[in-house]
Structure 1
Amino acid sequence: MAPPMSAAKILKTLKDGGLHVVEVRDWHNHDRDHHGPWGPVHGVVIHHTATSGSEQTVRLCYDGSRQLPGPLCHGVITKDGTVHMVGGGRVNHAGMGDDDVLRAVIAGKRLPRHNETNTDGNQYFYGFECENKGDGKDPWPKAQLEAIEKVGAALCRAHGWNEHSVIGHFEWQEGKDDPKGFSMDKMRERIKARLK
């Protein structure tokens, strides 16, 4: 059982992991904690934003929309590799997913294929949105992929997790394809190497 890190601890963990971090507005106190439990945490979900333009992407992830209020993640990883912190507690990012996937994440094992939506991922996962159109053509710059790797490794190291605790949204929830344009298996290999 891993209690979620405080906003201040997340910030320190990411900076200690070699990341360039920008604090957005009152992100420390910006959360959806009044809509359900936050924690214990077991992993990290990586997303793409289906947007372009760093400024508007960060603003959307902080504010959300009428249909889905913000924050939409804990941090936004823009194309230059900067992590913009937008949420400090429970956030609207993972949605409902498969409890078998959650059990594999907790056990630090390879993920099964999801086949149901019976578990609230917003309670159990940190979420990081990555600026990308999500069309399979928009490039993933080296700096951005390295930042995803560093975020995953930093949070795994802080909690004593392995690389299997970092998953793509598509591995959690039916009908999702994010992050599209790079391999989560290869990203986990990179995180594993960094953890060594």
Structure 2
Amino acid sequence: MSYTLTWLAETLEDAGLKVAEQTGWRTRGRGDVGRIRGVMCHHTAGPARGVMPSLNVITHGRRDLAGPLSQLGLGRDGTYFVIAAGRANHAGRGKWQGVTSGNRSFIGIEAENRGIASDPWPAVQIDAYRRGVAAILRKIGADASWCCGHKEYALPRGRKPDPSFDMDPFRRDVAAILAGLAAPPSLIPAADAHDHPTVRRGSRGAPVEALQTILGLEPDGIFGPLTEAAVREFQREHDLVPDGIVGPLTWAALDPRD
């Protein structure tokens, strides 16, 4: 089945954010969404450690609730994991600005955080949260008022506590990004300390050949889908963010002699 939200990954990437597309996300959903009105923010209340340890639960659901549980997951390092292009079970009963069809009308973002004082939000994650929400709102032609917390949407009041941060200053920050008043995001460095350039899908040349050789691939110097798949698998095996981008951290794992 063809789903509506296949623009999610590109929209986030165009905003300068790190994106890890999950296998099969373009055809994953509980049916399709309707008219998307806004974005609903959540926290996972999952494990205390790891970039996105709740990813499997968000993708496949729980015993009491079928997945996907949101379209996007946001790791502690600011990486967006793109999970579904269709409808997700993230909203439940509630209302925001008169809209009661949460699962059909809002894109859900489950950010990895326990939701307690002893698990502070990393600055890089909060920055990515704001920028990702702003990018989606810009795409759908909505302003910052169409960003809500699950705790604001859910009925009866007090039914949900997430996200654990104050939504009013969060919306003000999102509005500043939409207005072009916020500083640009920090991007992956163009090269590491050993002059290994950052490479990704579409890159060509000797660094890609070197990468392919290390990964045991035929070294043709073209960073295509097979190379990207091999990079993602390597990153998963080495507890790196599986975004398919070979930057300083991945180069360090690939070539420990550096």
Question: What TM-score do you get using the length of structure 1 for normalisation?
Answer: 0.83
- The structure with more radius of gyration: 2
> Which string of whole-angstrom CA distances, capped at 9 and with x for unpartnered residues, describes residues 137-176 of structure 1?
3110011001110111101111111111111000000310
Alpha-carbon distance change, 17 to 87 in structure 1, aligned in 2, over 3 angstroms = same
- The one of 175, 180, 196 equivalent to 1:192 is 175
Aligned residues: 172
Q: Which has the higher helix share?
A: 1
Q: Secondary structure of the residue that 1:46 maps to in structure 2?
A: strand
Alpha-carbon distance change, 145 to 163 in structure 1, aligned in 2, over 3 angstroms = same
Which residues of structure 2 form unaligned runs of 5+?
A: 180-258
Question: What TM-score do you get using the length of structure 2 for normalisation?
Answer: 0.64
How far the C-alpha of 1:185 sits from its partner, in A, is: 0.8
Give the fraction of aligned pairs with identical amino acids, expressed as a percent.
Answer: 38
Q: Secondary structure of the residue that 1:132 maps to in structure 2?
A: coil
Alpha-carbon distance change, 88 to 56 in structure 1, aligned in 2, over 3 angstroms = same
How far the C-alpha of 1:85 sits from its partner, in A, is: 0.8
Q: Kindly indicate whether residue 127 of structure 2 is the aligned counterpart of residue 146 of structure 1.
A: yes
Q: Which residue of 2 aligns with 1:123?
A: 104
Q: Secondary structure of the residue that 1:189 maps to in structure 2?
A: helix
Return the alpha-carbon distance in structure 2 between the equivalents of residues 54 and 65 of structure 1.
20
> Which residues of 2 match residues 55-94 of structure 1 at below 5 A?
55-94=52-91
Return the alpha-carbon distance in structure 2 between the equivalents of residues 77 and 96 of structure 1.
23
Return the alpha-carbon distance in structure 2 between the equivalents of residues 26 and 44 of structure 1.
22
Q: Which residue of 2 aligns with 1:13?
A: 11
Return the alpha-carbon distance in structure 1 between the equivalents of residues 38 and 103 of structure 2.
11
Alpha-carbon distance change, 54 to 125 in structure 1, aligned in 2, over 3 angstroms = same
Q: Which residue of 2 aligns with 1:115?
A: none
Return the alpha-carbon distance in structure 2 between the equivalents of residues 55 and 147 of structure 1.
14
Return the alpha-carbon distance in structure 2 between the equivalents of residues 44 and 168 of structure 1.
8
> Which residues of 2 match residues 29-40 of structure 1 at below 5 A?
29-33=27-31, 38-40=33-35
Q: Kindly indicate whether residue 44 of structure 2 is the aligned counterpart of residue 49 of structure 1.
A: yes
Return the alpha-carbon distance in structure 2 between the equivalents of residues 54 and 95 of structure 1.
26
Return the alpha-carbon distance in structure 2 between the equivalents of residues 43 and 194 of structure 1.
16
Amino acid across the alignment from 2:175: K
How far the C-alpha of 1:91 sits from its partner, in A, is: 0.4
Q: Kindly indicate whether residue 113 of structure 2 is the aligned counterpart of residue 132 of structure 1.
A: yes
Question: Cα RMSD over matched residues?
Answer: 1.5
